[in-house]
Chain A
Amino acid sequence: MKHLTAVLVATVFALATTSARAELVIEITQGMDNPTAIAVVPFAWQGSGTAPEDVAQVIDNDLARSGQFDPVGRGDMLARPSTQQEVFYRDWRAINTEYVLIGRASVTGQVQMRIEYELFDVNRQARVLSGYEEGHVNDARMLAHRVADEVYETLTGIPGAFATRLLYVSVTRNPGGKDFYRLTLSDSDGARPIVLLESREPIMAPSWSPDGKHIAYVSFETSRPAIYRQELATGARVQLTNFRGLNGAPAWSPDGNSMAMVLSKDGNPDIYLMDLRTRELTQLTRHYAIDTEPTWMPDGRSILFTSDRGGRPQIYRYDLRSGATERLTYEGSYNARARVAQDGRNLVMVHQAGGQFHIALQDLVTNRLQILTGTDLDESPSIAPNGSMVLYGTKSGDRGILAAVSVDGGVKFRLPAREGDVREPAWSPYMSR
Chain B
Amino acid sequence: MKQLTVAGKVLTLLFAAVFLAACSSKDTKDDSSAADAAAAEAAARSAAERAAMEDAAMAERRLQDAVAAVGNVFYFDYDSSTLKPQAQAALDAHIALLRTNDRSVRLEGHTDERGTREYNMALGERRANTVRDYMVVNGIASYRIETVSYGEEQPIAYGSGEANWSQNRRVELK
Contacts and interface: CB of A to CB of B under 8 A. Distances in A.
Contacts of B159: 398
Sorting the interface of chain A by its residue count into under 10, 10 to 19, 20 to 34 or 35 or more gives 20 to 34
A337 B115 CA distance: 10
Interface string B147-161: 111110110001110
Interface stretch (A62-70, A112-120, A121-129, A242-250): A242-250
A234 interface: no
B33 interface: no
A379 B117 contact: yes
Given A205-B117, A269-B122, A377-B114, A395 B149 contact: no
A248 B116 contact: no
A33 B153 CA distance: 39
Interface string A390-415: 00000100100000000000000000
Most chain B C-beta atoms within 10 Å of own C-beta, residue among A292, A376, A424: A292
Given A264-B125, A377-B114, A377-B160, A293 B153 contact: no
A223 interface: yes
B115 A246 contact: no
A30 interface: no
A224 interface: yes
A292 B158 CA distance: 25
A377 B125 CA distance: 21
Interface in B57-92: none
Contacts of B115: 313, 334, 336, 350, 357
Contact of A246 (B113, B121, B154, B160): B121
A39 interface: no
Contacts of A91: none
A399 B122 CA distance: 24
Contacts of B122: 246, 262, 264, 269, 290, 292
B173 interface: no
B122 to A, nearest CB: 4
B118 A306 contact: yes
B121 A248 contact: yes
Sorting the interface of chain B by its residue count into under 10, 10 to 19, 20 to 34 or 35 or more gives 20 to 34
Contacts of A308: 119
Contact of B116 (A224, A245, A336): A336
A249 B118 contact: yes
Contact of B153 (A204, A262, A292, A306): A204
Given A179-B154, A246-B149, A292 B160 contact: no
A293 B160 contact: no
Contacts of B123: 290
Nearest to A290: B122
A173 B114 CA distance: 19
Interface in B112-152: 113-119, 121-123, 125-126, 147-151
Contacts of A380: 116-117
A306 B119 contact: yes
Nearest to B156: A175
Contacts of A336: 115-116, 119
Contacts of B119: 290, 292-293, 306, 308, 313, 336-337
Interface of A: 173, 179, 202, 204-205, 220, 223-225, 245-246, 248-249, 262, 264, 269, 290, 292-293, 306, 308, 313, 334, 336-337, 350, 357, 376-377, 379-380, 395, 398, 424
Task: In the A-B complex, list the 10 residue pairs whose CB atoms are closest, starting with the nearest.
Answer: A202-B153, A290-B122, A337-B116, A336-B116, A269-B122, A398-B159, A292-B118, A293-B118, A249-B118, A224-B148
Interface of B: 113-119, 121-123, 125-126, 147-151, 153-154, 158-160
Given A204-B151, A290-B126, 17 more contacts: A202-B150, A204-B118, A204-B121, A223-B148, A225-B148, A245-B125, A246-B121, A264-B122, A269-B125, A292-B119, A292-B121, A293-B119, A313-B116, A336-B115, A336-B119, A337-B116, A337-B118
